[in-house]
């Protein structure tokens, strides 16, 4: 009966199937379903590596049938970010390619021809060879999105150089790149990533942007094609290091005077005193690890000036250095008071609770329609400030944020327990384990069974929340509080806040309290705590990090 539906309707139905393994099974039902489902099965391909090796990625890529890649529109090459957070590039594992060895050759003008004689010693050699064959099977200009999210160097022949593997794919609309800006070999090679042929590019995300040539590459692209960009994310990871690298290379290559604000001028094309419309189609802008500091201007001033220049924001996420003037930031946020729904603010000093003494809570949280609030402030300080408000915030989701480096706690689920004493009326804390790891199904021997096997390669990675392992505490109007649930001071602090929030004097609309750091797709999931009212626990299984 399914096979009798019109082709257009069948396509939409198959698109609703989440698991690629299920799509591959549909291909076996009938010839018509095979013709409908096969293009959708190979439309999106994800090649996953581990943090320390490309072996799994190579193995998966080798098994993909090239004849089906004519349908491919999206390619994602990715690896998890869990244990190896710094020095991720595979070059760090080779003594000859370590930062110290590379810088020694550069400083002493020593040429290294070993890669030419033994190219297979390059840790990317086999991967690039396989990717070359893979990309050869793509239909010309069919690719619409490409991601290199490994946190390593980008192989020199990969991205739109003269010999680029993707030189026949110029209609890409979305690019995501995560690189290791700390890699010495990356510094030595200085190959140029040419993005200018991508005239249809609408979304560019580059995290790990630090090399001189990379800044020039982005700057050149934005100057030529920037008016078509709708989403731009640039993350320098370490501003001081990126600034130092740029200045050192600038002095080597140019003899002119060193310019201030190199990022604004050379990358974004912003010139002081010049009125010029930039990035005319831009809707989302994220500039991370970028300094606004100068000898005369507080970091908050340019941000506040920008926010005060328009109105209508629905989402606003701010992270500013300590000692920023949050008073002028608050005034600028009020320009968006009637439309703002989600607000996250962080002064990078959460452990001291400095933010609590700098914000006018009554102005920011009374008479607003905020549904989601995130703050880097201790729970007791937040409770104290909100108890003073005449009208409580109406948010449904609250994130009390801490940095990943602040975790020094054991597994909460081990210490959570029910208490026999009741000191608060009509409140209870229950423990519910919410563990859901994405799995793949793979089985292959014959050509038809290869569809099942290749579903692993074409499977999109599980959502951030689905990959999380979290300890969830459910609070609702029942009987007994868990007075001995979390031993340390911070744990008791958050539980006390939860009891207050669920009381008649608390936050009546609040459904979820998130405590911890939920960035990097659940890297700190084992230490995070989610507290929710009953009825919301199932919803948390599908909760995305962005939500």
As a whole number, mean pLDDT of residues 18-45 equals 84
Q: Nearest 5°: phi and psi at 346?
A: -150, 125
What is the pLDDT, as a whole number, of residue 143? 92
Residues 115-119: what's their mean pLDDT? 45
- Residue range 394-420: mean pLDDT, rounded: 55
Q: What angle do CA 394, 397, 403 make, to 5 degrees?
A: 130
Pairing of strands 397-401, 372-375: parallel
> pLDDT-based confidence at 536, cuts 50/70/90?
low
Q: Which long-range contacts (CB under 8 A, 24 or more apart) does 509-513 make?
A: 509/394, 509/395, 509/396, 510/395, 510/396, 510/397, 510/398, 511/396, 511/397, 511/536, 512/396, 512/397, 512/398, 512/536, 512/540, 513/398, 513/399, 513/400
Q: Is residue 402 very low, low, confident or very high in pLDDT (cuts 50, 70, 90)? A: confident
Has residue 65 got a pLDDT over 70?
A: yes
Q: What residue segments make up the domains of the chain, in order of their start? A: 1-41
Q: Name every residue whose Cβ is closer than 8 Å to that of residue 283 and which is 6 or more positions away in sequence.
A: 230, 231
**Percentage with pLDDT > 70 across the chain:** 63
Under the banding of pLDDT at 50, 70 and 90, the label for residue 456 is: very low
- Helix (H) or strand (E) segment spanning residue 74: strand 74-78
Decide if pLDDT at 373 tops 90.
yes
- Kindly report the pTM of this predicted structure: 0.61
In whole angstroms, what is the distance from residue 69 CA to residue 458 CA?
11
Stretch among 218-222, 439-443, 498-502, 528-532 having the lowest mean pLDDT:
439-443
**What pLDDT score was predicted for residue 281?**
92
| pLDDT over threshold 70, residue 137 | yes
Among the ranges given (139-148, 481-490, 530-539), the one the predictor scored with the smallest mean pLDDT: 481-490
- The percentage of the chain sitting over the pLDDT mark of 90, rounded to a whole number, equals 13
CA gap 198, 196 in Å, rounded: 5
Q: What is the mean pLDDT of the chain?
A: 72
* pLDDT confidence bin for 167, thresholds 50/70/90: confident
pLDDT in tens, 278-291: 889 999 988 888 87
Judged against a pLDDT cut of 70, whether residue 531 lies above it is answered with: yes
DSSP code of residue 165 = T
Range in 217-221, 402-406, 430-434 with the lowest mean pLDDT = 430-434
Q: Where are the alpha helices (DSSP H) in 299-354?
A: 300-308, 326-333
pLDDT in the model for residue 492: 79
pLDDT higher than threshold 60 for residue 415: no
In the chain, DSSP finds a helix count (H) and a strand count (E) of 19, 15
The pLDDT assigned to 128 comes to 77
3-state class of 277 per DSSP? Answer: coil
Minimal CA–CA distance to 370: which of 340, 406, 331? 340
* C-alpha closest to that of 202 among 236, 229, 238, 163: 229
305-308: which pairs have CB atoms within 8 A and are 24 or more residues apart?
305/332, 306/332, 307/332, 307/333, 307/335, 307/336, 308/332, 308/335
Integer Cα distance of 154 and 92 in angstroms: 14
At 474, give phi and psi (nearest 5°): -100, 130
What letters, b where the CB count within 10 A reaches 16 and e where it falls short, cover 484-521?
Answer: ebbeeebbbbbbbbbbbbbeeebbeebbbbbbbbbeeb
* Helix or strand (DSSP H, E) at 200: none
How many angstroms separate the CA atoms of 513 and 374, rounded? 10
The pLDDT-based confidence of 452 (bands split at 50, 70, 90) is very low
Q: Is the dihedral angle over the CA atoms 507, 512, 514, 518 positive or is it negative? A: negative
Average pLDDT over residues 489-511: 85
- Degrees (nearest 5) of the Cα angle 44, 151, 98? 140
Integer CA distances (angstroms), 148 to 24, 141, 323, 370, 461, in order = 26, 18, 36, 35, 14
Can you tell me the distance from the alpha carbon of 544 to that of 402, in angstroms, rounded to the nearest whole number?
19
pLDDT the model gives residue 3: 62
Contact between 291 and 261 (Cβ < 8 Å):
no
- Cα dihedral 303, 304, 308, 310 in deg (nearest 10): 20
pLDDT at residue 265 in the model: 83
């Amino acid at each position: 009966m399914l096979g009798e539906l019109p082709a257009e309707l069948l396509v939409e139905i198959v698109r609703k199937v989440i698991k690629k393994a299920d799509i591959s099974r549909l291909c076996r039902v009938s010839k018509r379903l095979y013709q409908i489902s096969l293009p959708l099965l190979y439309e999106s391909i994800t090649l996953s590596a581990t943090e320390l090796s490309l072996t799994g990625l190579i193995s998966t890529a080798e098994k993909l049938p090239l004849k089906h890649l004519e349908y491919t529109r999206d390619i994602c090459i990715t690896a998890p970010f869990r244990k190896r957070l710094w020095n991720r590039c595979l070059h760090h594992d080779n003594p000859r390619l370590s930062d110290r060895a590379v810088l020694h050759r550069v400083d002493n003008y020593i040429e290294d021809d070993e890669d030419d004689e033994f190219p297979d010693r390059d840790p990317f050699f086999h991967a690039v060879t396989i990717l070359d064959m893979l990309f050869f099977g793509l239909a010309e200009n069919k690719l619409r999105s490409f991601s290199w999210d490994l946190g390593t160097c980008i192989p020199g022949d990969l991205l739109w150089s003269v010999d680029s593997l993707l030189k026949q794919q110029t209609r890409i609309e979305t690019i995501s790149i995560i690189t290791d800006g700390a890699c010495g070999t990356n510094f030595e090679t200085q190959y140029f990533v040419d993005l200018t042929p991508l005239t249809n590019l609408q979304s560019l995300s580059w995290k790990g942007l630090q090399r001189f040539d990379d800044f020039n590459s982005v700057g050149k692209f934005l100057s030529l094609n920037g008016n078509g960009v709708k989403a731009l994310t640039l993350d320098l990871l370490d501003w001081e290091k990126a600034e130092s690298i740029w200045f050192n290379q600038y002095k080597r290559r140019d003899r002119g005077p060193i310019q201030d604000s190199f990022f604004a001028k050379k990358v974004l094309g912003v010139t002081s005193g010049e009125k010029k419309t930039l990035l005319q189609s831009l809707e989302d802008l994220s500039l991370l690890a970028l300094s606004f500091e100068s000898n005369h201007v507080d970091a908050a001033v340019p941000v506040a000036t920008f926010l005060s220049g328009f109105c209508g924001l629905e989402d606003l996420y701010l992270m500013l250095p300590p000692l920023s003037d949050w008073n002028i930031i608050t005034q600028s946020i009020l320009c968006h008071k009637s439309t703002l729904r989600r607000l996250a603010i962080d002064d990078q000093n959460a452990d001291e609770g400095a933010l609590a003494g700098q914000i006018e809570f009554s102005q920011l949280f009374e008479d607003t329609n905020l549904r989601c609030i995130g703050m880097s402030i201790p729970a007791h300080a937040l409770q104290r400030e909100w108890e003073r408000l005449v009208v409580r915030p109406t948010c449904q989701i609250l994130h009390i944020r801490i940095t990943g480096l602040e975790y020094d706690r054991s597994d909460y689920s081990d210490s959570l327990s029910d208490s026999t004493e009741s000191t608060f009326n009509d409140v209870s804390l229950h423990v519910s384990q919410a563990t859901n790891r994405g799995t793949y199904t793979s089985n292959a021997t014959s050509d038809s069974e290869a569809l099942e096997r290749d579903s692993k390669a074409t499977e999109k990675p599980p959502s951030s929340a689905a990959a999380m392992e979290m300890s969830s505490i459910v609070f609702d109007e029942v009987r007994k509080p868990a007075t001995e649930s979390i031993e340390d001071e911070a744990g008791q602090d958050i539980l006390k806040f939860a009891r207050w929030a669920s009381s008649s004097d608390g936050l009546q609309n609040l459904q979820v309290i998130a405590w911890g750091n939920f960035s990097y797709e659940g890297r700190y999931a084992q230490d995070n705590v989610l507290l929710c009212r009953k009825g919301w626990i199932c919803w948390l299984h599908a909760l995305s990090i962005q939500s």
